[in-house]
Amino acid sequence: MKPVYYRLENSWNPNGGPNGEFTFTLFNLSDETLSGFKLVYTSLTRVIDAAACGNSTFLRRNANFHEFGPPAGLSVAPGESWTFTVAGLHRKAQHCTDGAKSAYLTLSSGKHVPVAVSDLLLEGATSEPPPVLLPEGRLDLPFALQPWPAEIDAKPGDDFPVVLYPQGASSEELSSISTVISLTRRLFESDHSVFNLVPSPQGRALTFSKDAALDAEAYKLTFAADRVTLTYSGAAGRQYGLTTLAQLLNGARVTKGKFRFPISGTISDKPRYGWRGCHLDVSRQFYPVADVKRLIDILAWFKLNIFHWHLTDDEAWRLEIKAYSQLTTTGVLRGPDEPLLPQLGNGAEPVGGFYSQDDIRDIVAHAGALNVEVVPEIDIPGHNAATLIALPDLTDGQEAPDSYHSVQGYPNNALNPAVALTYEFLEKVFDEMVELFPSAYIHIGGDEVANGSWLASPMAKKLMEEEGITNGTFGLQSYFLKKVKAMLTARGRKLSGWNEVSHGGGVASEDTLLMAWENPQVGIELAKEGYDVVMTPGQAYYLDMVQATAFQEPGASWAGTVPPAHTYAYEAAGEFPEELQHKLKGVQACIWSEHFLSRGYFNRLVFPRLPAIAEAAWTPKALKDWDRFAAIVPLSPKL
Ligand code: ACM
């Protein structure tokens, strides 16, 4: 790692202005005097009033990229520092991750050099002790199962088999065991294998039985001293039965005594919901193929069956489209001298990253072998700053710049429904996507189009007149999304999107599944309008939300504080009227990655809330038990 010769410290004073004030201090730890430089930092707490900055000059901002100059003539000698203040913030800082996420200097030579940053300190307060988020828990039955099964009536044995081995298995059954052996070995690399294809004298035989009356995802396990029988009807149920055995034996082995393996009895299991999802935002931060596959492994371990892959956003378009190679060149590279500026933890070095079509096929096959369906998302029409920088022909050249801003602070970032090329572009993108992704649904985003978008576009104004669209931005959005829906229907796919797809007239509800993220009530409204619904409310299922109120807790807080106990207790079906229950297709965790600058942040926030959602997706309400969950979840694999 290269040495870093500069460090930026930052703190926030709640009393410094309407939304408080940052104090930044840049230390020069190099052996040369600094002068004629500029400082860039990225921060989700944005400056909106350039005049409210002290001992510095605000130069420019793009979303969370901020550039400042020192006062005229200032130089910083080795060992010295420069302190400046920044008020005029668009909101208060609430947590330690709300300050500078990264920084760099542009020297007078034009060279960019890295600056180390620390988490944001709160002025005038001492740190509180870290909150206890997970109690020790309690076990009524000593089985390491997560999610907890629908029915269990099994007696723990005093000992456990060294290994389980198949007897009389078909080649498909052998292959399914092999898949679960590999899964378990990837997740718990140094632990002993749970299954062995060769019989072992200290092992226990595993026999299979088929029962067409079971649902495809259901299974039954019957335990006896000399054998275990797995009954199933489909590949998914067979895999879930084997995963249950792997969890039981692995738990009994690694925490001997606390967890045990059944000697008799049965487990009869099936999921509560058909859609058991987890989303990952790979635009704000890039996750290499190996990390994506490991996350999918973790989903399979917890019997989740949907990987919702958020492939595009303002910060980058990560999906290779052969017809538009610019999307994954210009559209991914963020750097000081690139069209896309550094954001969300980027510094002096340009960073990119995308998934080639070979990578995609590899990941889709990996997931498919584990009965996880990959639902790809391209987020349109909003959240397209990167797309429009890569493909400027998609803009209305007559639209005033900065005529609207997204909630994340991006100017003019939505695909324009009045530009004919927009539809040509999307037709080609969908053509390539349907070749890559076999999923029933394609997710098209549809969220957070800023009210006022396109209203300064002469082409959009003309379209509104021609089409008789009188309800502004959302009327245009509905016009656009109806065309998108038709494109998907023509390709034999169904439309999935975020809850705002319903705005301004929405799209036909048939074969449309919307994700209620803004709050739980929205899900019920969507169901009333006839849409199928998956519940992903930020207040319970957004895994980037902070887990406690203390300032030093990392994460976002716009949807509140979401401790694991709350995520676990939340009931998606809670307020759904009886007659709308059939519209509720399932639940989903969302991993938005603005704050996930490292694996450390990822694991700290995603676990144990991801397994909590997996249990909500699978286990009947009457069997949910926070104390049991807390006792088992420390065994969870992490990224
Ligand atoms: C979202 O969180 N904008 C779907």
Question: 591 C-alpha to center of ligand 1: Å?
Answer: 10
Q: Is 383 part of the annotated catalytic residue set? A: yes
Residue of 438, 183, 168 whose CA lies nearest to 299: 183
Question: 15 C-alpha to center of ligand 1: Å?
Answer: 31
Q: Which amino acid is at 53?
A: C
> Within a 10 A sphere around the Cβ of 574, how many other Cβ atoms?
11
Residue of the CA atom closest to atom 2 of ligand 1: 517
Q: Which atom of ligand 1 is nearest to the CA of 445?
A: 4
Q: What is the DSSP letter of 405?
A: B
Phi then psi for residue 358, to 5 deg, are: -65, -40
Name the CATH superfamily, with its identifier, for domain 275-635.
Glycosidases (3.20.20.80)
The CA-CA-CA angle for residues 460, 531, 477, to 5°, reads: 5
Task: Work out whether the CA dihedral 453, 498, 532, 423 comes out positive or negative.
Answer: positive
pLDDT at 16: 87
Question: 542 C-alpha to center of ligand 1: Å?
Answer: 9
Encode pLDDT of 389-408 as tens digits: 999 999 999 999 999 999 99
Q: Which residue has the tokens 């007897």?
A: 167
Q: How far is CA 253 from CA 162, 163, 375, in A?
A: 9, 10, 36
Question: 382 C-alpha to center of ligand 1: Å?
Answer: 11
Residue of the CA atom closest to atom 3 of ligand 1: 447
Q: Tell me, using a 6 A CB cutoff, whether residue 447 lines ligand 1.
A: yes
Whole-model pTM: value is 0.98
Q: Which two tokens stand for residue 637?
A: 């694999």
Q: What share of the chain is helix, strand, coil (3-state, %, to 5)?
A: 30, 25, 45
Which CATH number applies to 151-269? 3.30.379.10
Task: Point out the catalytic residue in the list 448, 500, 518, 532.
Answer: 448
Q: Is 358 part of the annotated catalytic residue set? A: no
Residue of 221, 250, 186, 406 whose CA lies nearest to 314: 406
Do the domains 151-269 and 275-635 sit in the same CATH topology, yes or no?
Answer: no
Residue of the CA atom closest to atom 1 of ligand 1: 447
Q: Tell me, using a 6 A CB cutoff, whether residue 517 lines ligand 1.
A: yes
Supply the Cα-derived Rg of the chain in whole angstroms.
26
pLDDT at 128: 77
Q: Tell me, using a 6 A CB cutoff, whether residue 377 lines ligand 1.
A: no
Q: What is the DSSP letter of 502?
A: G
pLDDT at 1: 56
Q: Which two tokens stand for residue 246?
A: 């792997």
Q: Is 313 part of the annotated catalytic residue set? A: yes
Q: Tell me, using a 6 A CB cutoff, whether residue 498 lines ligand 1.
A: yes
Whole-number Å distance between alpha carbons of 106 and 38: 5
Q: Tell me, using a 6 A CB cutoff, whether residue 448 lines ligand 1.
A: yes
Q: How far is CA 630 from CA 178, 278, 290, 552, in A?
A: 30, 21, 28, 23
Whole-number Å distance between alpha carbons of 471 and 445: 21
Question: 408 C-alpha to center of ligand 1: Å?
Answer: 11
Q: Tell me, using a 6 A CB cutoff, whether residue 544 lines ligand 1.
A: no
Q: Which two tokens stand for residue 354?
A: 């995308």
Q: Which amino acid is at 571?
A: E
Task: Work out whether the CA dihedral 26, 28, 32, 33 comes out positive or negative.
Answer: positive
Mean pLDDT by runs of 10 across the 639 residues of the chain is: 85 94 98 97 96 96 97 96 97 97 97 96 85 95 98 97 97 98 96 94 96 98 98 98 98 94 98 98 98 98 99 98 98 98 97 98 98 98 98 97 96 98 98 98 98 98 98 98 98 98 98 98 98 98 97 96 98 94 98 98 98 98 98 98
Q: How far is CA 370 from CA 231, 247, 541, in A?
A: 18, 16, 23
Q: Tell me, using a 6 A CB cutoff, whether residue 84 lines ligand 1.
A: no
Architecture of domain 6-122: Sandwich (2.60)
Question: 498 C-alpha to center of ligand 1: Å?
Answer: 7
pLDDT at 2: 59
Q: Tell me, using a 6 A CB cutoff, whether residue 541 lines ligand 1.
A: no
**Domain locations along the chain:** 6-122, 151-269, 275-635
Q: Which atom of ligand 1 is nearest to the CA of 590?
A: 2
pLDDT at 130: 80
Q: What is the DSSP letter of 458?
A: H
Question: 379 C-alpha to center of ligand 1: Å?
Answer: 10
pLDDT at 558: 97
Task: Point out the catalytic residue in the list 281, 313, 373, 544.
Answer: 313
Q: Which amino acid is at 199?
A: P
Whole-number Å distance between alpha carbons of 100 and 275: 38
Beta strand pairing call for 164-166 and 219-223: unpaired
